C-alpha cells in the first residue's frame, strides 16, 4: 500500500509499505479521506513536535475508513461501516513508526467495546476509543472534521463554557473556528475571535459574533470595547510563547484560560501580573470519544458544516500530499482534504 511518510524532518514522501495484518480484535479499513492538521502535522513534518517522535513515521490522524475485513472476535463493526480515526500501525519489522498513520491506503481500527468486555487491560483498548462508527448518511469527506470537532468540543465543555458565557478565541485556524462554533452552540452570549483578516468570513459563518484582525494596531482597544468587563473564558488555539499573555488582560477576574495550541508548547509563558485578578488555568485536556455522539447530532442537524473548514472543490490525491500542505501553509484553505 501507499502511505505518506516523514523520513526525517522536512522530508515527506509517499512510499510503498506493507499492508497491515488483521488480528482478533482488528478491523481492516480502506482509508477514504483524511484532512490535514495545521498544528500537529506541520510540527511533525518540521521536526518541532513537542513530544518524542521516531522517524521515519507515517503521518495523519484525521482519516476516515470503510471496514473491508473484520477479525474473528469483532462484533461491533461490520464490513461496510465507516469508522473514525483509522490509521496504519507501525510495520512489524520496526522500520516505520506511526504518528497515527492516517495518510495511508489501508489502516486498522479495533473493536474496543469487545476488548473491554473480554477483560483486556485498559491500556490495550482505551487508545482505540477514537475508533467510532459514522452513520452511513454522513459524507465521508465531511466526516474527516469529526476528529477536530470532538477534541475541541470536549476541551471547551470541560472548561465549563455554557449559556450566557463570553468567550475570546485566539487563532483563526481549524481549531479556533471549531471553538467558535461550539461556543455558539453552547449558547454563549458573545464569541470573539482574534485572527487573520482573511478568515473573518469563515469565523462569522462558524459562529463568531465579533472579530479582530490580529495585525491591527489597536487590538487591545477593540477587545476592551467589545467586552469591557473582560471575557469569562479565553482559549488560546495557537500556543505561541506569548500568545496567552497577550490575551490575559482581557480575561475577567475569576475567569478561565485554556491553552490548546502547540506552536511553542514548551516555551509557553504565563505572566500572572498581566491578569485583572485571580484566574484559573484549565489543564483538563479532552477525550474525543465522550463528544462523538454530540458531534454526529450537530452534523445531522446542520449546526456543524464541514465546508466552512474544507474546500470540496479542491481535493488532493495522496500522491499530491505536498501540494495539500502547500495550500495550508499559504492559507489557501483552512484544512486540506486528501483522497486516500
Interval 20-50: pLDDT, tens: 999 999 999 999 999 999 889 999 999 999 9
More confident residue, 87 or 266: 87
Residues of the chain by 3-state class (helix, strand, coil), percent to 5? 35, 25, 40
pLDDT tier for residue 314 given thresholds of 50, 70 and 90 = very high
Whether 289 shows a pLDDT value over 90: the answer reads: yes
**How far is Cα 26 from Cα 73, in angstroms, rounded to an integer?**
8
Q: What is the pLDDT of residue 285?
A: 96
Domains and CATH numbers, the chain: 2-141+310-339 (3.90.180.10), 148-282 (3.40.50.720)
pLDDT confidence of residue 265:
79
Which secondary-structure segment (H or E) carries 194? strand 190-195
pLDDT over 90 (residue 12)? yes
Question: What are the angstrom distances between the C-alpha of 152 and each of 14, 186, 227, 288?
Answer: 30, 13, 23, 8
Residue 266, pLDDT score: 80
Here the cell at position 166 is 463570553
Quote the cell numbers at residue 32. Answer: 477514504
User: What residue spans of the chain are helical by DSSP H?
Assistant: 40-46, 112-117, 122-125, 146-159, 174-185, 200-206, 219-226, 243-247, 292-300, 321-329
241 vs 219, higher pLDDT: 219
* pLDDT tens column, 39-83: 899 999 999 999 999 999 999 999 999 999 999 999 999 999 999
**Percent of the chain surpassing pLDDT 70:** 100
Give this prediction's pTM.
Answer: 0.97
CA distance 59 to 87: 9
pLDDT score of 127 more than 90: yes
* 215-238 residue pLDDT tens: 999 999 999 999 999 999 999 999
pLDDT tier at 269 (50, 70, 90 boundaries)? confident
Amino acid at each position: 500500500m501507499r502511505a505518506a511518510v516523514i523520513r526525517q524532518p522536512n522530508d515527506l514522501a509517499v512510499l510503498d509499505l506493507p499492508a497491515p495484518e488483521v488480528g482478533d480484535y482488528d478491523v481492516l479499513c480502506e482509508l477514504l479521506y483524511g484532512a490535514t492538521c495545521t498544528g500537529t502535522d506541520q510540527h511533525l513534518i518540521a521536526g518541532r513536535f513537542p513530544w518524542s517522535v521516531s522517524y521515519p513515521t507515517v503521518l495523519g490522524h484525521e482519516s476516515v475508513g470503510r471496514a473491508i475485513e473484520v477479525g474473528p472476535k469483532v462484533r461491533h463493526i461490520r464490513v461496510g461501516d465507516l469508522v473514525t480515526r483509522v490509521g496504519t500501525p507501525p510495520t512489524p519489522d520496526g522500520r516505520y513508526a506511526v504518528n497515527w498513520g492516517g495518510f495511508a491506503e489501508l489502516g486498522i481500527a479495533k473493536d474496543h467495546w469487545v476488548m473491554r468486555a473480554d477483560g483486556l487491560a485498559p491500556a490495550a483498548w482505551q487508545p482505540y476509543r477514537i475508533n467510532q462508527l459514522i452513520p452511513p448518511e454522513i459524507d465521508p469527506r465531511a466526516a474527516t472534521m469529526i476528529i477536530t470537532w470532538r477534541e475541541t468540543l470536549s476541551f471547551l465543555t470541560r472548561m465549563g463554557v455554557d449559556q450566557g458565557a463570553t468567550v475570546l478565541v485566539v487563532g483563526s485556524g481549524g481549531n479556533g473556528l471549531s471553538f467558535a462554533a461550539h461556543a455558539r452552540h453552547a449558547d454563549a452570549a458573545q464569541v470573539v475571535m482574534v485572527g487573520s483578516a482573511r478568515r473573518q468570513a469563515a469565523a462569522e459563518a462558524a459562529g463568531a459574533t465579533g472579530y479582530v484582525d490580529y495585525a491591527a494596531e489597536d487590538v487591545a482597544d477593540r477587545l476592551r470595547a467589545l467586552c469591557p468587563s473582560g471575557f469569562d473564558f479565553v482559549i488560546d488555539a495557537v500556543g505561541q510563547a506569548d500568545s496567552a499573555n497577550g490575551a490575559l488582560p482581557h480575561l475577567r477576574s475569576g475567569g478561565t484560560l485554556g491553552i490548546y495550541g502547540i506552536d511553542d508548547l514548551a516555551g509557553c509563558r504565563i505572566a500572572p501580573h498581566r491578569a485583572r485578578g485571580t484566574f484559573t488555568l484549565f489543564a483538563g485536556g479532552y477525550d474525543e470519544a465522550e463528544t462523538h455522539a454530540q458531534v454526529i447530532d450537530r452534523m445531522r442537524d446542520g449546526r456543524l458544516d464541514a465546508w466552512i473548514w474544507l474546500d470540496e472543490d479542491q481535493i488532493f490525491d495522496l500522491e499530491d500530499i505536498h501540494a495539500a500542505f502547500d495550500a495550508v501553509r499559504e492559507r489557501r484553505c483552512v484544512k486540506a482534504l486528501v483522497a486516500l
